C-alpha cells in the first residue's frame, strides 16, 4: 500500500485517503436530505455507531472538533464549567470553542503520563454549590490520549471516573477520536471499554481511513438536543450519505486491522531507539503514535531533518503516526532514512 504520490506520510493518521472500496461505496451511496432525517446511508451509519458503542443513538458530524463542541453545548449551559485535562484536545487544540461559542469555562486538571486525570484531582476541581462559583457540569476524558503518546485509558480507570462523575451528579463525555485504537490495543470491544459514559465521539477520518466525519453517541434524549446544537453551529449537511458510506465501511472493515498499525509503530520505535541522537518519549508505543525528540548532542535541527526526510519522500513531525497507508517495508525505509540523515 502506498499513496498515489508515493510519499510515506507519518505526520498523522488524518492524512489517510479512502480505500478503493470506500470510493466505490461513496459513488453509489443512496442519499437523502439529512437535515430532514431522510438520508438512509447516514441513518444506517448512526445506527451502526450506536451499536458499536453500546449507546442509544448516534449523530454524524463533519469533524471531531465539532462533535466535542456539540457535546459540550448539549451537556453545559453558558457560564458552567467542564473539567478537562491540560493536555486534552478539547483544551489545547480546538481553538477555545468551548469558551468562544459555548460560554463554558474550562476547569483544568493535569494529565498524568498515562493519560489519566487523577480521581483526587477531579474531585478537587468540582466546584462547591456556591453563588460565587460557576457550576461544574461535566468531566471530559480522552481515549486514546494523544499528547501523552497515544496511550489508551483502561476499562478499570474509565469505570472509576464514571462512578465518580455520577456520584457528584456530573456527566462524563469521552473524546474518543481514536476510540477503536484504544479498544484494539487492550483486546476489548469499544462497547465494553466505555460502558457507563454519558456521551462519546469517535473519528472516522483517522485510523479508520474514511475521508470525512465523526459520530457523537449518547442517549436518545441527548442526541435529540445535540441535533439542535449541530444545526446551530452549521453542521447540518444535506446529501452527506456520500460521506457516511465510507464511514460504514470504516466501522465494518477497518477496526480489526488497527493492530497492524500498532505493530508497525512498535517496529518503528525499535528502529528509532537504535539511532544515536534520537530519544523516544515513550519506549514502546501502545497504539499507533510515537513521540520523540533530539538529544542535545545532535548537530542537526529538526527543521533540517524534516526537510531532508521530505527530499527522500518521507513526511515527518516529532510525532510519528502509523496508519493504513504505511506498510512494514515503509517503516524499514523510514528507519534507514533517519539514520542516513542524522549520520550520513
Q: pLDDT per residue over 313-332, tens digit each?
A: 999 999 999 999 999 999 99
CATH code linked to domain 257-343: 3.90.1150.10
How much of the chain exceeds pLDDT 70, in percent? 99
Say which CATH architecture domain 20-253 belongs to: 3-Layer(aba) Sandwich (3.40)
188: left (phi over 0), alpha (psi -120 to 50) or beta: beta
The radius of gyration of the chain from alpha carbons, rounded to an integer in Å, stands at 21
User: Residue ranges of the domains in the chain?
Assistant: 20-253, 257-343
- pTM metric for this prediction: 0.96
- pLDDT tens by residue, 56-104: 999 999 999 999 999 999 999 999 999 999 999 999 999 999 999 999 9
How much of the chain exceeds pLDDT 90, in percent? 95
Main-chain phi, psi angles of 45, to 5 degrees:
-60, -45
**How far is it, in rounded angstroms, from Cα 115 to Cα 40?**
38
Does residue 109 have a pLDDT over 80?
yes
Report yes or no: 220 and 58 within 8 Å, Cβ to Cβ. Answer: no
Compute the average pLDDT of residues 206-226: 98
**How far is it, in rounded angstroms, from Cα 121 to Cα 34?**
41
Report yes or no: 177 and 142 within 8 Å, Cβ to Cβ. Answer: yes
User: Which of residues 233 and 283 earns the better pLDDT score?
Assistant: 233
pLDDT score, position 50: 98
Q: Could you tell me the CA-to-CA distances from 73 to 70, 79, 166, 247, 270 in Å, in that order?
A: 5, 11, 19, 24, 43
Amino acid at each position: 500500500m502506498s499513496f498515489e504520490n508515493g510519499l510515506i506520510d507519518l505526520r498523522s493518521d488524518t492524512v489517510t485517503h479512502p480505500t478503493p472500496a470506500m470510493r466505490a461505496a461513496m459513488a453509489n451511496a443512496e442519499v437523502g436530505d439529512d437535515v430532514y432525517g431522510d438520508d438512509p446511508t447516514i441513518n444506517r451509519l448512526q445506527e451502526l455507531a450506536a451499536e458499536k458503542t453500546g449507546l442509544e443513538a448516534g449523530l454524524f458530524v463533519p469533524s471531531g472538533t465539532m462533535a466535542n463542541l456539540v457535546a459540550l453545548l448539549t451537556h453545559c449551559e453558558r457560564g458552567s464549567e467542564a473539567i478537562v485535562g491540560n493536555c486534552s484536545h478539547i483544551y489545547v487544540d480546538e481553538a477555545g470553542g468551548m469558551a468562544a461559542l459555548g460560554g463554558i469555562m474550562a476547569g483544568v486538571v493535569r494529565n498524568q503520563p498515562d493519560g489519566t486525570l487523577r480521581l483526587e484531582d477531579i474531585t478537587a476541581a468540582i466546584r462547591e454549590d456556591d453563588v460565587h462559583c460557576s457550576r461544574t457540569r461535566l468531566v471530559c476524558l480522552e481515549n486514546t490520549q494523544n499528547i501523552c503518546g497515544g496511550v489508551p485509558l483502561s476499562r478499570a480507570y474509565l469505570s472509576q471516573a464514571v462512578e465518580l462523575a455520577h456520584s457528584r451528579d456530573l456527566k462524563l463525555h469521552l473524546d474518543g477520536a481514536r476510540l477503536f485504537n484504544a479498544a484494539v490495543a487492550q483486546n476489548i470491544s469499544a462497547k465494553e471499554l466505555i460502558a457507563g459514559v454519558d456521551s462519546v465521539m469517535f473519528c472516522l477520518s483517522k485510523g479508520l481511513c474514511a475521508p470525512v466525519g465523526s459520530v457523537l453517541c449518547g442517549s436518545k434524549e441527548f442526541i435529540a438536543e445535540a441535533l439542535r446544537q449541530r444545526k446551530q453551529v452549521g453542521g447540518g449537511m444535506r446529501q452527506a450519505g456520500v460521506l457516511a458510506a465510507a464511514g460504514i465501511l470504516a466501522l465494518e472493515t477497518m477496526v480489526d486491522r488497527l493492530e497492524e498499525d500498532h505493530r508497525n509503530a512498535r517496529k518503528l520505535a525499535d528502529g528509532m531507539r537504535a539511532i544515536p541522537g534520537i530519544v523516544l518519549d515513550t519506549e514502546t508505543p501502545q497504539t499507533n503514535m510515537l513521540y520523540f525528540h533530539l538529544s542535545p548532542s545532535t548537530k542537526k535541527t529538526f527543521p533540517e531533518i524534516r526537510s531532508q526526510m521530505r527530499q527522500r519522500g518521507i513526511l515527518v513531525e516529532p510525532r510519528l503516526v502509523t496508519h493504513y497507508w504505511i506498510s512494514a517495508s515503509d517503516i524499514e525505509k523510514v528507519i534507514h532514512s533517519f539514520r542516513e540523515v542524522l549520520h550520513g
